[in-house]
Amino acid sequence: MISIEQLSKVYASKDHEVVGVDHVSLEVNKGEIFGIVGYSGAGKSTLLRCMNILERPTSGKVSIDGIDLLSLSAKELRTARQSIGMIFQGFHLAMAKTVQENVAFALKAAKVGRQERRKRAIELLDLVGLSDKADQYPAQLSGGQKQRVSIARALANNPKVLLCDEATSALDPNTTKSILQLLKKINRELGLTIVLITHEMEVVKEICDRCAVMEEGRIVEEGHTYDIFASPQSDLTKRFIQTVIDFNIPDQLLQEANGTVVHMKFTGGSAGESIVSDLLQNFKIRGNILHGKIDYIQDKPLGTFVMELTGEVQEIEKAIESLRTTVEEVEVLQHDGFADHPIARAE
């Protein structure tokens, strides 16, 4: 649906250049929710804004639904933008217009007639659950309601794509959830392709089918959300994952643990508990669970366990060997009271 090839955006000022996006290639499939995460300044907004040419790329190609956006005239580009909705962190509603007028504006941009505009605006407000606020002004709405209005405006011309720049970053956790649910609903019901930028991994975990991690203008990792969570490759991705799947074990507890501490991660089918009980039965060791958690990502379980194993060193080593064959990832955090991989612990 969205195809980006070797896209770069360089901001040149008098004495230096800032590379916003650095040779990024990306495919977003039709009907998926694609997340882009990264720290501030990674180039997420710049990349997103290149997708509707709010920012003109320095080089590279952007096409949406087979249309090469960079080859269009100003007028053609305006028409193309009507099928690319966009929402922002700051909502960006016209304060002098009512909620309904804000939505109708997008229709006016597409030259929809007055009668039809009214009707469609009401339908859209209904879709986002704000039909009772049609005649209010944005200043009278809460953040979540404003974002709903901006979603209605973005959806006005039946776009194929919705671009979201930190759409929930200004909202509290509950409101964030409800907005994400709305986006998910739109994605499912209208078959809309959504690209969503965020610095919160929680958001990605909640609704993204696939995601990419950005740093310094480049995409460092990309894949299905579950895979990214289950087996992150880059350090940056790992750090992001840790913000959601956190197994922060107090140092004190680790120091007190006198056995071998292993961290294991298991995905999908393999049920954690049976693995643990098998382990304790098959080897002459004792186990003590320090941490256990199952996260559901895209409705698939991802388990994280941290156990302290005590017993004969050889038995423990054999047990770990066998673990490596049954679970996705095993990591020894500490051997017999000595830290092995201190970095592996979150923070």
Partner 1 sequence: MMDSLITLLPELNKSFIETLIMVGIGLVVALIAGLPLGILLFVTDRDLFLENKTVKSTVGVIVNLIRSVPFIILLVFLFPFTNFLLGTTTGPVAASVALSVAAIPFYARIVESSARDIDRGVIEAAIACGASPWLIIKDIIFPEIKSGLISGLTITAISLIGYSAMAGAIGGGGIGDLAIRYGYYRYDNFVMFTTVILLIVMVQVVQYIGDFAAKSVKRS
Ligand X SMILES: Nc1ncnc2c1ncn2[C@@H]1O[C@H](COP(=O)(O)OP(=O)(O)OP(=O)(O)O)[C@@H](O)[C@H]1O
Closest C-alpha to 303, from 279, 344, 273: 273
Does the footprint of partner 1 cover residue 150 (CB under 8 A)? yes
- Rounded to 10 degrees, the C-alpha dihedral 143/148/154/158 comes to 170
**Residue 243 CA, distance from chain mean position:** 13
> Measured from the CB of residue 20, what is the shortest distance to ligand X in angstroms?
3
Give the per-residue SS3 of 226-286: HHHHHCCCCHHHHHHHHCCCCCCCCHHHHHHCCCEEEEEEEECCCCHHHHHHHHHHHCCEE
Specify the DSSP element, H or E, that contains 212: strand 210-215
Does the footprint of partner 1 cover residue 170 (CB under 8 A)? no
Does the footprint of ligand X cover residue 11 (CB under 6 A)? yes
Q: Return phi, psi of residue 152, to 5°.
A: -60, -40
Shortest-Cβ-distance residue relative to ligand X: 45
> Measured from the CB of residue 222, what is the shortest distance to ligand X in angstroms?
16
**Residue among 50 and 121 whose Cβ is closer to ligand X:** 50
Tell me the HSE value of 260 on the side-chain side, using a 13 A CA sphere.
20
Does the footprint of partner 1 cover residue 138 (CB under 8 A)? yes
**Residue among 84 and 257 whose Cβ is closer to partner 1:** 84
Under rule CB under 6 A, how many of the chain's residues touch ligand X? 12
Q: Which two tokens stand for residue 61?
A: 């190609």
In contact, 266 and 303? CB cutoff 8 Å? yes
Q: Which two tokens stand for residue 122?
A: 């009401």
> Measured from the CB of residue 194, what is the shortest distance to Mg ion in angstroms?
17
From Mg ion, partner 1, ligand X, none, which one binds at residue 93 (CB under 5 to 8 Å depending on kind)? partner 1
**Residue among 18 and 96 whose Cβ is closer to ligand X:** 18
Q: Would you tell me how many other CB atoms lie within 10 Å of the CB of residue 19? A: 16
Contact range with partner 1 by CB under 8 A, out of 100-108, 263-271, 277-285, 299-307: 100-108
String marking each residue 65-84 x if it binds partner 1 according to CB under 8 A: ------------xxxxxx-x
DSSP symbols for 27-43: EE-TT-EEEEEE-TTSS
Q: Which of 24, 36, 45, 265 binds Mg ion (CB under 5 A)?
A: 45
Q: Which of 97, 184, 218, 224 binds partner 1 (CB under 8 A)?
A: 97
> Measured from the CB of residue 150, what is the shortest distance to Mg ion in angstroms?
16
From Mg ion, ligand X, partner 1, none, which one binds at residue 156 (CB under 5 to 8 Å depending on kind)? partner 1
Q: Return phi, psi of residue 241, to 5°.
A: -60, -40
How far apart CA 83 and CA 64 sit, in angstroms, is 9
Interacting positions 36-75 with ligand X (CB under 6 A): 38, 40-46
Does the footprint of ligand X cover residue 187 (CB under 6 A)? no
In contact, 126 and 158? CB cutoff 8 Å? no
Please report, as ranges, the residues that interact with ligand X according to CB under 6 A.
11, 18, 20, 38, 40-46, 199
Binding site for Mg ion (CB under 5 A): 45
